[in-house]
Chain A
Amino acid sequence: MKLVTRDLTVRYPGEELPALDGVSMEVLPGTLYAVLGPNGSGKSTLMRALLGTVAIESGEALLGDRPAAAWGRRALAREVGAVGQMESVAFPITVRELVAMGRYPHLGPLRREGAADRRAIQDALERCDALRLEGREVGTLSGGEYQRVRVARALAQEPKALVLDEPTASLDIRHEMEILRLLRRSADQGITVLLITHNLNLAARFADRLLLLACGRVAVEGTAEEVLDASILERVYGWPVRIRPDPDTGVPQVTPEG
């Protein structure tokens, strides 16, 4: 499924400046697309506008051939799995129950879990290294464990596209690498992956294309070589950086100066 925005502008009620200002992008099936940018540059708003949880002022955001509003929420959730940034559980539930919620769009309000659902849940838990967390209560998980469980829930949806907002924040390097390799493999299997992240170096290594946002506008879009440019990054982040190709892979890597 293709994810597209054209001249997308979003303004939160009462705000003078738009949160997103004329953003265009195209994420093709089978690609891993990284969205980068400083805090408050509009990354999460881009995700919400695409998924229809904030109102669009002008332009368009399409999932496949239509905007989120033209999909029913359930139909959309069968196609697109999403992990947002904030989440709080109001009642104590187990990891298994939380991941099983990924089957909600397939089951609807009344149908019972079947063998296919149980397989999808099991498989998702396994792929996120969360199988042994299955019986734990969600409130007792560490930040990183919770992140993995949330990614597992999105995988349990068996979606054609994944949209993830900083899914590797607070993960240790092993689990961060495992999630990124999982996303890379998913993309290679034909899934569309939109990944919001602060990790420029891993984005350069794993993503097919990168989009750098600054104050709600596209600063630059393209391959790692095109986007990771010292002068652009310095301007956008307001901090001097050095770019060097990785000696083994040749992928550009960013080192902050100072």
Chain B
Amino acid sequence: MRARVGWVSLLMILGTAGAMLLGVRYGTVPIGTGDLLALLRGEATEAHHFIVLELRLPRVVMGVLVGGGLALAGAVFQALLRNPLAEPYILGISGGAAAGAVGILALGLASMTSWLLPAAAFGGALLAITLVFGVAASADRRLDVRVLLLSGVVVGAFFSACIALILALSDAPTVRGAILWMMGSLSGATWRTVGIVAAYTLPAALLLLTLARSLNVMAIGEETASYLGTEVERTKRVAYAVASLIAAAGVAFTGVIGFVGLVVPHTVRLLVGPDHRTLLPLSFVAGAGFLTLADLGARTLLAPTEIPIGVITAFVGVPFFLLLLRRSLRA
């Protein structure tokens, strides 16, 4: 297993680096290796300079941050909730964020300032996180993960109802805009938004990586985990809050991108086993590569029309995962 972990890690890192390179090279305007080298030497044309450094690179880096963050958060949620169906949005985050974003779109405020939409989405996500946490933590001093899961799903359903109400009262273009937002896109990425997402995602990801061994021990039950020296309550609270924050930061700037947080951690677990010390970092790497490739597909497959990235992640991720699942059951 250890040798295999080494190989899989190496392949994933190379694969993700390759995906990033492809993401920079391909698009409506193809950019060759020679052009990229010219760019590095500072001899590129102004157009190439702009396309690579201001359009594609921020988008690729956004894909890395959001894809990696979602996959990592998904792996943490699956461990925390002891539920294989868990993913970063399961506790109402997507519902809260979408309600905020759709509200802004319906009020026609999105074009007023570019900050309003992500701020409202982030606010909605934070509201959902706070609500769910408040319910789950108030029942007792201990945080019951079953209550967490249940209140998350219920809060999510409530926000879905809010979205349905807003959409029912909106005109057709607003509904279309809202649906596209809810399917996710990296097209709005700029260095400023990338900076903000990075400021949330990177420290949060590092913090989650330090929880790996505690999550391993907690997989054998909370009581035993405390006998083995884990601060179970603190670990649960930190894992929930930090993984949620990663999802919220991503969703605010890129919309709801499904399946990455569900499929990637399971795929990595099937490949390298359930030890969170390898599962968590490799989920980040694999999620980063996967979303970067999905975005490349979203912009190039039906160019100049852009496909919502959530469609690509589902179309590619789901069959691939089902195949892998079948193979692992046969083995």
Contact = CB atoms under 8 A, between A and B. Distances in A.
A89 B230 contact: no
Contacts of B216: 93, 97, 101
Contact of A13 (B140, B273, B274): B140
Interface in B237-255: none
Of B217, B229, B269, chain A has the most CB atoms within 10 Å of the CB of B229
B266 to A, nearest CB: 11
B221 interface: yes
Given A93-B274, A104-B213, A109-B213, A87 B221 contact: yes
A173 interface: no
User: Which residue of B213, B220, B231, B232 has the most chain A CB atoms within 10 A of its CB atom?
Assistant: B220
Contact of B228 (A13, A53, A89, A101): A101
B229 A109 contact: no
A77 B212 CA distance: 18
Interface residues of B, number: 26
A104 B220 contact: no
A52 B227 CA distance: 9
Interface in A86-134: 86-93, 97-98, 101-102, 104-105, 107-110
A107 B213 contact: yes
Interface residues of A, number: 37
B292 interface: no
A159 to B, nearest CB: 10
Interface string B210-228: 1111101101110110111
Contacts of B79: 90
A87 B231 contact: no
A77 B230 CA distance: 9
B54 interface: no
B274 A105 contact: no
B43 interface: no
Given A91-B274, A101-B216, A104-B217, A78 B229 contact: yes
Interface stretch (A68-76, A182-190, A202-210): A68-76
A51 B227 contact: yes
Nearest to B216: A101
Contacts of B214: 109
B229 A105 contact: yes
B220 A101 contact: yes
B219 A89 contact: yes
A157 interface: yes
A98 B220 contact: yes
Contacts of A97: 216, 275
A48 B226 CA distance: 11
A44 B217 CA distance: 21
B82 interface: yes
Contacts of B213: 104, 107-110
Given A91-B274, A110-B210, A76 B221 contact: no
B82 A84 contact: no
Given A51-B227, A109-B212, A92 B274 contact: yes
Interface in A51-73: 51-53, 72-73
Contacts of B228: 77, 101-102, 104-105, 153, 157
Identify the interface centre among B212, B227, B275: most chain A CB within 10 Å of its CB: B227
A193 B48 CA distance: 73
Contact of B231 (A13, A72, A90): A72
B257 to A, nearest CB: 26
A87 B220 contact: yes
A252 B236 CA distance: 49
A101 B217 contact: yes
A78 B219 CA distance: 20
A78 B226 CA distance: 12
Contacts of B220: 87-90, 98, 101
A77 B274 contact: no
A254 interface: no
A82 interface: yes
A136 B226 CA distance: 25
Contacts of A153: 228
B81 to A, nearest CB: 10
B221 A86 contact: yes
Nearest to A111: B213
Contacts of A89: 219-220
Contact of B229 (A74, A91, A98): A74
A201 B269 CA distance: 47
Given A51-B226, A74-B229, A89-B219, 12 more contacts: A51-B227, A73-B226, A73-B232, A77-B229, A84-B221, A87-B220, A89-B220, A93-B216, A93-B219, A98-B220, A101-B220, A104-B217
10 contacts: A48-B223, A53-B226, A72-B231, A84-B223, A86-B221, A90-B79, A93-B274, A98-B220, A101-B220, A102-B228
Nearest 6 interchain pairs by C-beta: A77-B229, A105-B229, A91-B274, A82-B227, A74-B229, A90-B219
